[in-house]
Chains A and B, each alone.
Chain A
Amino acid sequence: MKHVRLERYLCDATRGLPPKKRVAVMRELRGNLEQHVLDRMVAGMAQARALEEILDDFGAPKLVSRGMWGVHMKPRWTKAIVGVGLVTALSLPMLVAASSVAVLPRTSLDTYSWIGLDSVFRTLNWTDANLSLEGRNLKITKSSSKLYLTTYTKLEFADSSIKNKLGERYVQADTLIQMLSNYRDSAVTFDQSINTKFRINNQTLDFSNLGFEVDFRNAISVEVSRYLFDYVKQFLSNKEIANFSTIEPGSGYQHYVKGNAEPNHPYLAIWTGLEQWDRKDVNSKKATIRFGVLQSDVNGDFKFETAYREVHFTPNWASLNRMKNNEILLVKMTGCINPDWKKSLQEGRGLIDPSSVLKIPVSIGHKTL
């Protein structure tokens, strides 16, 4: 049973839970909701109306999420807070003596890119590590064992501009790989939902809409799961890319993919290939992985301009010569899309059949593909 309000309810009612637990609770709630609906249908009510009534009866989803958080997450946080408190108490004298504040070891991180997002999660622009953007940014960094996704905003002041960290989530590479390998059964979340309320100059800024969630549970096959998993694994480990055989110069600005996608629907796009950074220098190619949200047009085609996110890693030149095809993976987005973005992207549309994952070879440097 797929229904926009139902999916939103399930999404909201399980917010904040770890992915596996979230999927399990969603399944339980969905099963019970369906049984409620069946009860009413047996009594002669139409399915759509029955579902609406049940959701009304269920009340605010945050009541469930709050309760579930109390059961499944609070004990963890309590432990963590007690642990941090203990460590802080023990280390306070040393900190005072050193007159310094403990910070994350940023120097050990390797910044990959900045990504600019607008309010409906379209890409505004992207830039390299040393540049900053106005508005909301997602920073992707990596240390030897962790992938960091950090949300930032740049706030402009009369005499300076400051980048302020809003929140940060990091996961062990192994954990992320495990999460990704469980795509089929897990809702993997790239969501910066913690510490999104930020206070500066007595003004509270709420950036809770930053980030996005993609629910892959029904949208991805095992094969594609492995495919995506491999990309991310490469990204994490920065190893050679083995599956590409031709190198094509990148000079185009607009690319099109003729697809058989659902019209006017958001897709997660993962694009690998080469990009020629300096148009005068054919050797200035960098291997790239791009990912982001693309909206199909009325014909079910995609048009690329700057509507992608890019993640760069320093190429291993030996491996570049082995690159063969540029490919884009388009995964139909379902489920937990932030309602605010969903409003812009697909409000009113039914949630989708899970089958479509498009793997389309593309060629960088040609205007029409």
Chain B
Amino acid sequence: MDSNLLKGNLDLILLGVLEGGEMYGLELTKAVNVRTDGGLKVAIGSLYPALHRLEAAGFVVAQERTPPRGGTVVRYYQLTDEGEQALRAKREGYRSFDTLMQNFLGPQEETR
């Protein structure tokens, strides 16, 4: 998959995952992986800057906490009200875009 497609929709992906509850970085990557059946893998180089960007935008808030199984503290990210609104807007925007893109996709090729 073109990595630009993932990059362009990373905020939507992360906000969508956080809709299910607070998570820290590793949990987020796992959740994306599980939801897409391994189809999407969020690169670390993109993940943490994206989370910090979402936090700076007020879409998520972070809290440092030790994970249940111990270790160094991690930052748990949680969706804010603004984040929920942004998620709705991003979903709407993506659906509209997807609808338009259908006009260019043509019939799906069958795999033998």
Contact = CB atoms under 8 A, between A and B. Distances in A.
Contacts of B49: 64, 66-68, 70-71
Nearest to A32: B25
Contacts of A70: 49, 53
Interface string A52-64: 0000011110011
Interface string B5-49: 000000000000000000011100000000000000001111011
Interface in B38-88: 43-46, 48-50, 52-53, 56, 64, 67, 69, 71-75
Interface string A163-182: 00000000000000000000
Contact of B43 (A25, A34, A63, A68): A63
Contact of A71 (B24, B52, B71, B74): B52
A369 to B, nearest CB: 40
B63 to A, nearest CB: 12
Chain B contact-residue range equals 20 to 34
Given A30-B72, A35-B71, A60 B45 contact: yes
Contacts of A343: none
Given A28-B74, A72-B52, A35 B26 contact: yes
B71 A31 contact: yes
User: Which has the most chain A C-beta neighbours within 10 Å: B25, B43, B45, B56?
Assistant: B45
A289 B9 CA distance: 55
Interface residues of A, number: 25
Contact of A31 (B44, B46, B56, B74): B74
Contacts of A34: 71-72
Contact of A38 (B25, B44, B53, B69): B69
B72 A63 contact: no
A31 B71 CA distance: 7
Contacts of B24: 31-32, 35
A31 B45 contact: no
Contacts of A63: 43-46
A27 B72 contact: yes
Contact of A25 (B48, B71, B72): B48
Nearest to A55: B44
A51 to B, nearest CB: 13
A76 B97 CA distance: 33
Contacts of B53: 70-71
B45 A32 contact: no
Interface string A206-247: 000000000000000000000000000000000000000000
B84 to A, nearest CB: 21
Interface string A1-14: 10000000000000
A61 to B, nearest CB: 8
A68 B69 contact: no
A27 B75 CA distance: 9
A36 interface: yes
Contacts of A57: 44
Given A59-B45, A67-B45, A67-B48, A35 B75 contact: no
B47 to A, nearest CB: 9
B69 A28 contact: no
Contacts of B48: 25, 28-29, 64, 67-68
A31 B52 contact: no
Interface in A91-112: none
Contacts of A31: 24, 67, 71-75
B52 A59 contact: no
A32 B49 CA distance: 14
Contact of A67 (B50, B56, B64, B69): B50
7 contacts: A28-B64, A32-B24, A35-B26, A38-B71, A63-B44, A64-B48, A66-B45
Given A35-B67, A70-B53, 16 more contacts: A1-B72, A31-B73, A31-B75, A35-B26, A35-B69, A39-B26, A58-B44, A63-B43, A63-B45, A63-B46, A66-B49, A67-B45, A68-B48, A70-B49, A71-B53, A71-B56
Interface of B: 24-26, 43-46, 48-50, 52-53, 56, 64, 67, 69, 71-75
Interface of A: 1, 25, 27-32, 34-36, 38-39, 57-60, 63-64, 66-68, 70-72
7 shortest A-B CB distances, which residue pairs?
A67-B49, A63-B45, A31-B74, A31-B72, A32-B25, A34-B71, A58-B44
